Structure 1
Amino acid sequence: MSTPLAERLVFARESSGFANTKRAAEAAGITPSALYQLESGKTKSLAGDTAEKLARIYPKFRIEWLISGRGHPTYDEAGALAATDLGSSPSSHDLGISAERLSASIKLIRLACEQLDVPFDPEDDGDLIVLAYQYLQGLAESSVTPENLVDFTKRLRQKARGTIDASESSEPGEAGSGTGRKSRSIYSAKF
């Protein structure tokens, strides 16, 4: 049996260092009364934008658990589930992965790599997909917009230039024209 929504949200708020509802609501960008309604049990469901906003300020807690109470509540420091059930194969939701955000991440990387004239192969470039996923998750977005495409491409270009300047100064201009593994590896670090 799962914990009631109100109890889950109070637990997540307090565990995330928010002593009161008002501060948590302000950090999340929602009204204090909306969070109070959820935490008091007057509002019975959590969904959509509000769920994404709360998940952003309660980063150790899985959004699926916040919404439904299903699965393990938290991630460990490495971002993996704190505990797993070895008897079943996990779904994307059990892993805390949004299928919609994953799809948008692949699209974001593909478009950014096209802009940078860098090859992209989703089967070989998992690190780039993770980078895009983390970027979209940080924005609490699950779609590619012109704004996040421009920003992500700019960050990716800066990351590539910084890596090339630091480690491959004898091969100028490789960021935009690389082919193969060498050009992909310059994007593997988080930003």
Structure 2
Amino acid sequence: MDVTSTRHRNIRSLVDRLTHELGTQKAIAIRFDMAPSYLNQLLGGKKMGDDVARKIERQAGLAHGWMDVAHDVRSDTQQAPALSHALRIDPEIIASALRLLRLTFSNLDIDDFDNEQDGTPLAYAYEYLLKRGELTITPDNLIDFSKALSDRLREKNGNAEEEASGTGEHGSAGRNHRGTRRQA
């Protein structure tokens, strides 16, 4: 079966499953962040591109690539998010999370945070974007994330993030590793 047919079959089975949960096709379209008429076109056989397939997977909480793989409708629909062989990390969200983190560090004047030693901020950025369903970095989500990251680091490390970030009374930290730090 080709990917177009597979995606068509998967969207139909997914909508059937979600109809029991959400009630109407309109509610499902809203959950997928698309117009009900567009969802209807997809169900009617309109070709689904990669971007739309990934968006549906994100919005439905499915593993990356789920729409591209044929599933046993009877046994797989209840276990779709827990597939062990599929990639669960969306590369598009990772790329956006890296951009968000780089801009946040710049915004907070954090020069010496070692991304390769502590992946916690990247995990926070990924989680933040995933929950919001956003891929585009805007001034609003940059400000909101900067505050959220500061709060989470404070919870994790006590007041240690002031020393690590250089945001205390004395300005930036004495060491500047920006030149040696891998660009995000």
| TM-score for the superposition, normalised by structure 2 | 0.66
Task: Summarize deviations over 1:147-171 as a string: whole Å, max 9, x none.
Answer: 221111011123344x27xx84xx6
Alpha-carbon separation, structure 1, partners of 2:109 and 2:162:
5
The total of aligned residue pairs comes to 155
- Answering whether residue 99 of structure 2 is matched by residue 107 of structure 1, we say yes
Aligned match of 2:12? 10
Where relative contact order (Cα < 8 A, 6+ residues apart) is larger, the structure is 2
- Answering whether residue 127 of structure 2 is matched by residue 134 of structure 1, we say yes
Q: Structure 1 stretches of 5 or more lacking a match?
A: 77-81, 85-93, 180-191
Contact 1:116 1:176 in 2 (8 A): no
Alpha-carbon separation, structure 1, partners of 2:47 and 2:150:
45
Larger-Rg structure? 2
2:128 maps to amino acid:
Y
C-alpha deviation, 1:100, in angstroms: 3.4
Percent identity reads 27
Alpha-carbon separation, structure 2, partners of 1:65 and 1:175:
39
Aligned match of 1:116? 108
Q: Structure 2 stretches of 5 or more lacking a match?
A: 166-184
Change beyond 3 A, Cα 1:109–1:160: same
The RMSD of aligned alpha carbons is 3.2
Contact 2:57 2:66 in 1 (8 A): no
**Runs of 4 or more above 6 Å deviation:** 70-73
Q: Give runs of aligned pairs for residues 86-105 of structure 1, distance below 5 A.
A: 94-105=86-97
The structure richer in helix per residue is: 2
Contact 2:64 2:90 in 1 (8 A): no
C-alpha deviation, 1:31, in angstroms: 1.6
| TM-score for the superposition, normalised by structure 1 | 0.64
